């Protein structure tokens, strides 16, 4: 399965996103929050730099959620039973999403302070 052409690799990647959308409620919730943030930033009338940071944060959170989902699926497949190492692996991946989510909230507050009319 190595060295597939670009169209195949793109379809594998899109398949992963589709899978997360169908099966992961947290991924759907984050997509909804991203849409709300975009509408809110439009309403605030923020400048290009703030738009750029918002897009980067949204992309980072969604990508991290996909990695989190991927790690969970792999862990559950390889070791379905309860195990302290599986616990820490999943907790670490969830911690990564949490750090980005806190950064997103701080960024939303900073943007509101700058542009609230």
Ligand X SMILES: Nc1ncnc2c1ncn2[C@@H]1O[C@H](COP(=O)(O)OP(=O)(O)OP(=O)(O)O)[C@@H](O)[C@H]1O
Please, what is the minimum distance in Å from the beta carbon of residue 100 to ligand X? 14
Residues 6+ apart with CB under 8 A from 27: 20, 21, 62, 65, 66, 69
Choosing from 33, 73, 90, 101, the residue that interacts with ligand X (CB under 6 A) is: 90
- Interacting span for ligand X (CB under 6 A) from 7-15, 38-46, 68-76, 106-114: 68-76
Closest residue by beta carbon to ligand X? 87
Choosing from 9, 18, 28, 83, the residue that interacts with ligand X (CB under 6 A) is: 83
Q: Which of residues 13-32 bind ligand X (CB under 6 A)?
A: 24, 26
- Interacting span for ligand X (CB under 6 A) from 11-19, 29-37, 80-88, 102-110: 80-88
72 binds ligand X (CB under 6 A): yes
- Interacting span for ligand X (CB under 6 A) from 4-12, 14-22, 36-44, 89-97: 89-97
Q: At what angle are helices 84-115 and 48-78 packed, to 10 degrees?
A: 170
* Residues belonging to the active site: 65
């Amino acid at each position: 399965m190595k060295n597939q052409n670009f169209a195949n690799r793109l379809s594998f990647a899109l398949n992963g996103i589709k899978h997360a959308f169908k099966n992961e409620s947290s991924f759907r919730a984050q997509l909804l929050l991203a849409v709300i943030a975009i509408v809110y930033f439009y309403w605030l009338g923020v400048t290009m730099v703030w738009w750029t940071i918002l897009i980067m944060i949204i992309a980072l959170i969604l990508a991290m959620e996909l990695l989190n989902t991927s790690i969970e699926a792999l862990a559950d497949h390889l070791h379905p039973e309860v195990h302290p190492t599986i616990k820490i692996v999943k907790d670490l991946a969830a911690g990564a999403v949490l750090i980005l989510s806190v950064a997103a909230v701080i960024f939303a507050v900073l943007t509101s302070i700058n542009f609230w009319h």
